[in-house]
Structure formats: C-alpha cells, structure tokens
Amino acid sequence: MTSTPDAPDVPALELRGLRREFGEKVAVDDVDLAVPAGSFFGMVGPNGAGKTTALSMAVGLLRPSAGQALVQGVDVWSDPVEAKRRLGVLPDGLALPERLTGGELLTYWGRFRGMPRDVVAARAQELLRILELGEAEQLGTLVGEYSTGMRKKIGLATALLHTPRVLVLDEPYEAVDPVSARVLTRILRRFTQTGGSVIISSHVMALVEQLCDRVAIVADGRVAVEGTLDQVRAGSTLEDRFVELVGAPEPDEEELAWIGG
C-alpha cells in the first residue's frame, strides 16, 4: 500500500537500522531516524561522521549493507521509481553534463523524467531567473564554465523541477555568495511552508540554527542526539553542544609555537 503524500503521521524520511560497511570499516552503524513531515531538518557532524554516506543511502545513490530508507513511507530500494518521484536530491560532489547550458540541462532532466515539454520550458525559465542564472543562459554559458556556487544553484534547480515533496540537500550553501544564499533560503522556506520537507547537511552551525527546526548530530556513524533545535542545544549553542558530544582535542601550547615569529 502506497502512503498518501504529505500525510502528517508519515515521516518525510525514515531510516530504519541503516548500515553501511566498507570492508572492516563501519561508516553508518544501524541508524534509526525519522524526519517529521513539513520540517526543516539539519544533519551535522564532523568530517567522516557518516552524514553523506547515510544520505546517499537514503536517496538511493548507495545501497545499504542492511536496513531500510523510506520516503513518505515508500521504500527507496524496493520501489525506487515511486520514491524518487517524491524526492529531490542535491548530492555531495554533484556530477553534471559539462557541455550543456543550464537551460539545456533542465530541459533534458525534465524530459528524462517524462514531464510535458511546455511545463519543463516554463519551470526551467522561472528557476533560471529566480536562481540568478538567467544572464549565464543568455550568454550561452556552459555548465562546465559555471562557478562552484552556480553549480550548486543549477543542482538545486534540477532537484526542484519535478515538484518533489521531500528535498535532501548535501551542503547546499557551500560556495554560495550571501545574496544567492538569501534567495536559496527564501525558496526552501517557501517549500516547507507549503507542506514540503527539507533535509540538509552542513558544517556551518550558525546556518543550521538559523534555518532548521529539528537537528541531528551524527558522530562515528551513529546519531548522537536528535530532536527539536532547542532540545538538541539543551540551553547552549548548537556549536557548543556539537563539541560536547563529538569531542575536540585540547590544543598543545607547544604545537605550532613558531607561528607569529
């Protein structure tokens, strides 16, 4: 039985006993996580904590060693077509066709998904304008010539094009200038206000505090804590709570003593 999109009692994204091993290394260690529908959810953790691996399994880019990932109750691996219809993804290290313009990429992507040509054309034009890629399109700039920030924005456009109800975005603000960041924030807030759900990973604690209403801190392949932003902060800042849970090495006064002469 297929769940009803946006049903409030069905998590937008759910991980059940999700595990991934690379040889003897356990990258994601039996993670259980439920992202409530309509939430703006942040996943934070140090490098190598397992965030990207977990999200890659959650959206169908990496097969788990064990466990399940469900989008609005639909299993990503047993029913991938239906799950990905509901899902928009901006993965880490997004690979894009280099010899297309942004508009050509969106046209190809929409037609690949079976969307009507006129719908694709209208949405592509609007996305390029709102994401400030219209001038590059007019100049015939190829995606291979895009800056890192522009690539993030065209990647977000591909994630939004087919009107998904769940967005999973890995470091969406990386290398994006402050003006463009405000545009992205406006788009994502509108997405959640209309009932959509957003899951982002980020290393920037202040950004997560500004955007997210729920947060999970991931360390050593496990969820160390998850809940509302206030629950996770526990009366402190998110950064202080992060350091408390993840741990930070105490600096040695003798290290790098040569700095500063």
Among candidates 11, 123, 118, 8, which has minimal Cα distance to 74? 11
pLDDT at 22: 93
Confidence of residue 1 (pLDDT cuts 50, 70, 90): very low
- pLDDT tens digits for range 144-159: 999 988 999 999 999 9
| CA dist list (Å): 185 to 167, 191, 207 | 13, 10, 10
Amino acid, single-letter form, for residue 156: L
Name the residue with tokens 């202040």.
Answer: 206
DSSP annotation string for 178-219 = HHHHHHHHHHHHHHHHTT-EEEEE-S-HHHHHHH-SEEEEEE
E strand spans, 46-93: 66-71, 74-75, 87-90
Average pLDDT over residues 250-259: 70
Q: Is 50 left (phi over 0), alpha (psi -120 to 50) or beta?
A: left
Give the residue extent of every domain in the chain. Answer: 13-95+165-249
**Calpha distance 120→108 (Å, rounded):** 9
For residue 47, is pLDDT > 90? no
**Counting Cβ atoms within 10 Å, is residue 46 exposed (0-12), middle (13-18) or buried (19+)?**
middle
Classified as helix, coil or strand, 154 is helix
For residue 6, is pLDDT > 70? no
For residue 260, is pLDDT > 70? no
Count of other CB atoms within 10 angstroms of residue 146: 20
Name beta bridge partners: 19: 66
Residue 198 CA from chain centroid, whole number: 7
pLDDT at 249: 65
**Calpha distance 198→37 (Å, rounded):** 9
Of residues 247 and 88, the one with the higher pLDDT is 88
Q: Kindly state the percentage of the chain with pLDDT values over 90.
A: 74
Return mean pLDDT, the chain: 91
For residue 92, is pLDDT > 80? no
**Calpha distance 57→160 (Å, rounded):** 20
**Calpha distance 157→141 (Å, rounded):** 16
Average pLDDT over residues 160-175: 93
- Edge to edge, the sheet with strand 197-201 lists 87-90, 166-170, 197-201, 40-44, 214-219, 222-228
- pLDDT tens digits for range 191-235: 999 999 999 998 888 899 999 999 999 999 999 999 999 999 999
For residue 3, is pLDDT > 60? no
pLDDT at 10: 93
For the domain covering 13-95+165-249, report its CATH number: 3.40.50.300
pLDDT at 175: 84
